[in-house]
Structure 1
Amino acid sequence: MVEIVISVAAKISEYLVAPMILPFTYLCNYKSNFENLKNEIGKLRVARESVLHRVDDAKRNGEDIEQKVEKWLSDVDKIMDAAGQIIEDEERAKNSRCFRGLCPNLTTCYQFSKKAAKEWW
């Protein structure tokens, strides 16, 4: 009987604690989320340039470009624009502070960190 109560209590605490911890992880990983986003955007930019060179070579040879390649390139452009906007907004808001400049604005840090984490995942 005790084992059942313990397992139920463990499961309940698992479902209650995880949603409460997630916002704090965004705050704690603020810098690393943006570094990961910047790194992934850099990798994506290199892959995009490589594909563009191949597409240009194929066009010069008179080959047709598959629709999925063109769609991938347009999707990459959208992703890079969205990520660039997040990074740009974060840079602008980086200097916004609360309590008369004594500490960073935690709400802004949380929101940008969450956006950055979702974008690079």
Structure 2
Amino acid sequence: MSERIGFSIAGKLSEYAVDPILRKLKYLFRYKSNIQNLRNKVKDLENKITEVQLRVDEAYRNTEVIGPSISEWLQKAVDLKKEIDEVLNTTTSSEMQCLFNRCPNLKSRYLLSRKGHKENC
């Protein structure tokens, strides 16, 4: 009986204390994969923007009317791409190093990895 209570307490302690810490550490360990996934998503977005823009241009040539939702989507997609490009540009090695380029800057890596993961989702 006391073992069950002990396991229950240990399980809750792990759930509330250890899991959030491990989740944050994953950002550091998965930095490269998070950034690479974000780059892949940006390529997909670029392809979709190009595809939609080609269709919009074709519609203009055919004197068709383009709905405001399409124009709005294109603008939002371009803005999002610019925002993500800024994040990816800060991943340069010069900004990611500390102590005379001897060790990685963990804070920058954590923040960029977290932002990359959130943009990915």
Q: Which residue of 1 is the match for residue 42 of structure 2? A: 41
Q: Tell me the CA shift for residue 4 of structure 1.
A: 5.7
Residue 55 (1) aligns with residue 56 (2): yes
Measure the CA separation in 1 of the matches of 2:60 and 2:95: 43
Q: Which runs of 5+ in 2 are unaligned?
A: none
Quick check: 40-49 or 103-112, which moved more? 103-112
Measure the CA separation in 2 of the matches of 1:14 and 1:41: 34
Percent identity, aligned pairs only, is: 34
Compute the TM-score of the two structures, normalised by the length of structure 1: 0.87
Measure the CA separation in 2 of the matches of 1:36 and 1:43: 11
Residue 107 (1) aligns with residue 117 (2): no
Q: How does 1:21-40 map to 2 (within 5 A)?
A: 21-40=22-41
Q: Tell me the CA shift for residue 5 of structure 1.
A: 5.7
Q: Tell me the CA shift for residue 32 of structure 1.
A: 0.5
Q: Which runs of 5+ in 1 are unaligned?
A: none
Q: Which residue of 1 is the match for residue 95 of structure 2? A: 93
Count of residue correspondences: 119
Q: Tell me the CA shift for residue 18 of structure 1.
A: 1.7
**Letter of the aligned partner of 1:43 in structure 2?**
D
Q: Tell me the CA shift for residue 8 of structure 1.
A: 5.0
Q: Tell me the CA shift for residue 73 of structure 1.
A: 0.5
**Letter of the aligned partner of 1:29 in structure 2?**
R
Q: Tell me the CA shift for residue 6 of structure 1.
A: 3.4
Q: Which residue of 2 is the match for residue 76 of structure 1? A: 77
Compute the TM-score of the two structures, normalised by the length of structure 2: 0.87
Measure the CA separation in 2 of the matches of 1:5 and 1:59: 70
Point out 4+ residue stretches in structure 1 off by more than 2 angstroms. 1-9
Measure the CA separation in 1 of the matches of 2:13 and 2:82: 41
Q: Which residue of 2 is the match for residue 118 of structure 1? A: 118
